[in-house]
């Protein structure tokens, strides 16, 4: 019987280990992928530092991945009804187990807050098998939704966008961007870069990228930013730049993707009266910030929304967008480095030190 190697986080702040897993037996409706690529993102850095609650260590990290179907039991189909065959290159929605049976799913219509929801590479334990992407194979439980990558879409392009693209799509949806509206994107890491790209594809007006890292700001220009604002400027200077770009009104939309608590307060200053702020940079607890409810929210008549997780629809559309616009928007080039399994610590360090926007693991290299 074949064995598969996987990189694991044994516990918070413990060095990554390589472990061997036996080839899993497939239950009805399950599939096995041979992993082509899995992402290393900021969430993995937080996971390694134990900054997310409820994580069942040891885990195999890697939530968004691309692989080849090596085996399946039953007849998996796409949402279009097409059969998924062995040898197909697919990605899959890393979220699984949403129950469609609880208050959050059925009444509040907020399935990303369903208590039964599990995420590959984050909330599944390595004790339960190959349930993360930093592994030569990934076990897709029954009900995990696969999406075939169209021939025109290189896996490297899709995974270059990866989870950041999916999150960005959800955030831009929540901002209800209309043609011609101005957008500020605070923090142009993997999520922010894709927010810039999607805002520009959506026909936004002025798109301002705000970040401390000069390389990231010039990259954001390639993604479609029309303006860049460096964090080297003071907060007052940034506000005055924003006013200079918007006839002193502020941006129609501000999307916070930086993870800095102060950025949420600043977002409320940068947005125009009656504008929309979407917060999608705080997937971990980075602390609190003072907000002035009268001046920053109530009187401004501002809409402030939090964006947590993604649904199948976001994943599905992200694949279509990457296929259609992958030559126009340089998602593929966002990948700074690709490493084998044993170099997973290097890949993680690259992302932790922000020396690359994104790194990939290629477990079968």
Which residues sit at the interface with Zn ion, rule CB under 5 A? 41, 43, 99, 102, 105, 114, 163
- Pick the closer one to Zn ion by CB: 102 or 346: 102
- Pick the closer one to Zn ion by CB: 105 or 245: 105
Q: Quote the CA–CA distance of 76 and 84 in Å, as a whole number.
A: 6
Give the shortest CB-99-to-Zn ion separation in angstroms: 4
Q: How do 89-92 and 146-148 pair as beta strands?
A: antiparallel
In Å, how far are 165, 181, 218, 249, 304 from 202, measured between CA atoms?
14, 10, 20, 22, 21
Q: What is the DSSP letter of 280?
A: -
Length, in residues, of the chain? 365
Q: For residue 276, give the 3-state DSSP assignment.
A: strand
Q: What is the DSSP string of 186-245?
A: E--SHHHHHHHHHHHHTT-S-EEEEES-HHHHHHHHHHT-SEEEETTS-HHHHHHHHHHH
Give the shortest CB-235-to-Zn ion separation in angstroms: 29
- Pick the closer one to Zn ion by CB: 163 or 225: 163
Give the shortest CB-337-to-Zn ion separation in angstroms: 16
Give the shortest CB-315-to-Zn ion separation in angstroms: 12
Instruction: Could you list the beta-strand ranges (E) of 58-110.
Output: 65-72, 89-92, 95-96
Q: What is the DSSP string of 175-190?
A: HT--TT--EEEE--SH
Do 76 and 147 meet the contact criterion of CB atoms below 8 Å apart?
Answer: no
Give the shortest CB-350-to-Zn ion separation in angstroms: 15
- Pick the closer one to Zn ion by CB: 102 or 239: 102
Give the shortest CB-40-to-Zn ion separation in angstroms: 8
- Pick the closer one to Zn ion by CB: 11 or 99: 99
- Pick the closer one to Zn ion by CB: 62 or 275: 62
Within a 10 A sphere around the Cβ of 276, how many other Cβ atoms?
21
- Pick the closer one to Zn ion by CB: 99 or 248: 99
Give the shortest CB-164-to-Zn ion separation in angstroms: 7
Do 338 and 37 meet the contact criterion of CB atoms below 8 Å apart?
Answer: yes
């Amino acid at each position: 019987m074949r064995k598969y190697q996987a990189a694991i986080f044994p516990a918070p702040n413990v060095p990554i280990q390589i472990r061997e897993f036996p080839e899993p037996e497939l239950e009805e409706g399950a599939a096995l992928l041979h992993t082509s690529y899995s992402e290393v993102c900021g969430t993995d850095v937080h996971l390694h530092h134990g900054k997310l609650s409820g994580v069942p260590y040891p885990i195999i990290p890697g939530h968004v991945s691309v692989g080849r179907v090596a085996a399946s039991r039953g007849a998996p189909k796409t949402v279009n009804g097409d059969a998924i065959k062995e040898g197909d290159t697919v990605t899959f929605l890393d979220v699984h187990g949403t129950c469609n049976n609880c208050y959050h799913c059925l009444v509040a219509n907020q399935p990303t807050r369903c208590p039964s929801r599990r995420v590959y590479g984050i909330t599944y334990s390595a004790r339960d098998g190959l349930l993360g992407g930093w592994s030569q194979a990934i076990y897709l439980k029954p009900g995990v939704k696969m999406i075939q990558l169209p021939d025109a879409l290189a896996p490297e392009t899709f995974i270059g966008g990866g989870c950041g693209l999916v999150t960005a799509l959800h955030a831009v949806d929540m901002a209800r961007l209309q043609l011609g509206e101005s957008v500020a994107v605070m923090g142009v890491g993997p999520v922010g870069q894709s927010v810039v790209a999607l805002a520009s594809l959506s026909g936004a007006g002025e798109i301002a990228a705000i970040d401390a890292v000069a390389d990231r700001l010039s990259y954001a220009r390639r993604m479609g930013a029309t303006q860049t604002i460096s964090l080297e400027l003071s907060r007052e200077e940034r506000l005055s730049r924003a006013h200079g770009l918007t006839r002193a009104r502020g941006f129609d939309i501000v999307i916070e993707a930086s993870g800095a608590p102060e950025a949420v307060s600043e977002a409320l200053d940068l947005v125009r009266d009656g504008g929309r702020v979407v917060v999608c940079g705080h997937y971990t607890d980075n602390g609190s910030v003072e907000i002035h409810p009268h001046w920053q929210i109530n009187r401004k008549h501002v809409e402030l929304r939090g964006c947590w997780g993604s649904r199948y629809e976001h994943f599905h559309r992200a694949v279509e967008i990457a296929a259609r616009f992958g030559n126009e928007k340089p998602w593929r080039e966002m990948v700074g480095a690709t490493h084998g399994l044993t170099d997973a610590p290097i890949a993680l360090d690259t992302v932790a030190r922000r020396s690359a926007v994104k790194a990939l693991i290629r477990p079968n290299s």
